[in-house]
Amino acid sequence: MQEGSFVASLLPLVVLFAIFYFLVIRPQQKQAKNHKAMVESLQKGDKIITNGGIICEVYKTEDSFIKVKLNEDTIVKISRDYVAKKADA
C-alpha cells in the first residue's frame, strides 16, 4: 500500500515536468540551435540586425567576431553573440 501511494504522489510531478519540457525547454533549445546555425552561415554581404538594433552589412567573418560595415567609411568588429537576426533585404 505504501509503495502505491508513493508512485501516485510522484505522478503529478512527472506530468508537470513533461509539460514544462515540451512547452518551454525544447522550443528554446530548438530556437538556440537555429540561431547558432544562422550565425555560422553568415557571409560577406549579408545584412544583419544586432541586439542593439543596428542594421549593418557583414564585411568579413572571423572565428568569434564579425567585421561589419555601418556605412561606406565605417567598419567595426562585433562579437558573434550580438547578432540578433538576418535582415530581409
Q: What is the pLDDT of residues 27-79, one digit of tens each?
A: 999 999 999 999 999 999 999 999 999 999 999 999 899 999 999 999 999 99
How many Å apart are CA 79 and CA 62, to the nearest integer?
A: 10
Count of structural domains, the chain: 1
Domain assignment of residue 56, given as a range: 2-86
Give the pLDDT mean for 2-23: 87
Residue 42 pLDDT: 94
Residue 2 pLDDT: 63
